[in-house]
Structure 1
Amino acid sequence: MSESIDAPGAVLFSEPGARWRTIAYGPALCAIILLVEVIRGGAIHWFGLLFCGLLLAGFVWLQVVAGKRHISVELTADTLREGTETLALRDIAEVLPEDDEESWDYEDWQSARALGELSGVPRRRKGIGLKLTDGRLVQAWARDHVTLRAELTAALERSNGGSVEEKEAQ
């Protein structure tokens, strides 16, 4: 069974922020070096390669945990989660137009607060201007900002369309 797009738990857009498989890259490189040492003959640096592999895996594990916590994005039919901050779609009034690449002027939303607990839009991500129902401007962000913008706009249209139809039915 597949979930409906309008179901509250259905994920419309997701970026993991980091992938667990990256933890294996350092130990895999150390294993390749160990294999080369075994094939080549001579001294084999068991302790050094094991220590380096574990050290690399530990540091990358910290980065993956931080990436999954602080730069992951998830859009459902009800909420937009940017890192550790979750924003209800009913609190978003509109998705603002993209910035003009050829313009010398900044849009007001480009200097607005970025969602999440980071000080700004994370590296290699692009901001999307949002106007909230209370009039404030904020920036959502994603690596695949085009898809997030399209899915967020469609989700807002569905939620606004649904609320108008419900009001007319009453």
Structure 2
Amino acid sequence: MTDTEPTVLFAEPGARWRSIAYGPLLCLVVLILELALRAPVHWFGLAFCAVLLAGFVWLQVIAGRRHVSVELTGATLREGTEVLPLRDIAEVLPERDPDAWDDEDWESARALGELTGVPRRRKGIGLKLRDGAIIQAWARDHHGLREELSAALERLPDGDGAR
């Protein structure tokens, strides 16, 4: 790591490259079963399905890594392709009370990133910006992101950070 690269405090890749191998591995299991059972082997069909599955999943991994990844450094929060400087965040809003009947204001706020809302299997985190706007950050490990984000905001120099 060079001096110009910021330290990553929290990261979620959005999708993992190993997912590409699952389809071809399943086709390999079917091939082994066909060979072991001395059934007719569907060489072309299994190879075609393996390549097709790997290709579709490759596209999904590329999209996931681009649009659903999260990275927090000491200076910025990146959600998908949107980068938010930490100096623009006034505070991390408290978690939703699970016993409350009403939703929190931040739950209907705009989610960071270019997607229309919080991605599936992710949970939102309310943020209040210095200009008064309320937005949602999000992550699978929302508790981990909340802790690291709060700590990063506390470490910002006076006048640049929250509280």
TM-score range, shorter chain: over 0.9
Runs of 4 or more consecutive aligned structure 1 residues displaced over 6 Å after TM superposition: none
Structure 1: runs of 5 or more not aligned: 165-170
TM score, norm. by length of structure 2: 0.93
Partner of 1:26: 23
Q: What's the CA shift string for 1:9-41, capped at 9, x where partnerless? A: 100000011000000000001011111111211
TM score, norm. by length of structure 1: 0.89
In structure 1, give the amino acid aligned to 2:15: A
Partner of 1:13: 10
Shift in alpha-carbon separation, 1:30–1:8, aligned structure 2, 3 A: closer
Cα separation, 2, equivalents of 1:21 and 1:42: 30
Cα separation, 2, equivalents of 1:42 and 1:34: 10
Structure whose residues are more often helix by fraction: 1
Which residues of 2 match residues 59-138 of structure 1 at below 5 A? 59-138=56-135
Which SS does the other structure have where 2:158 is aligned?
helix
Equivalent residues of 1:73, 1:80 under 8 A apart: yes
Cα separation, 2, equivalents of 1:151 and 1:36: 48
Q: Return the offset for 1:8.
A: 6.2
In structure 2, give the amino acid aligned to 1:103: A
Partner of 2:140: 143
Partner of 1:51: 48
Which SS does the other structure have where 2:84 is aligned?
strand
Cα separation, 2, equivalents of 1:3 and 1:105: 48
Task: Determine what percentage of the aligned residue pairs are the same residue.
Answer: 68
Q: Return the offset for 1:3.
A: 8.8
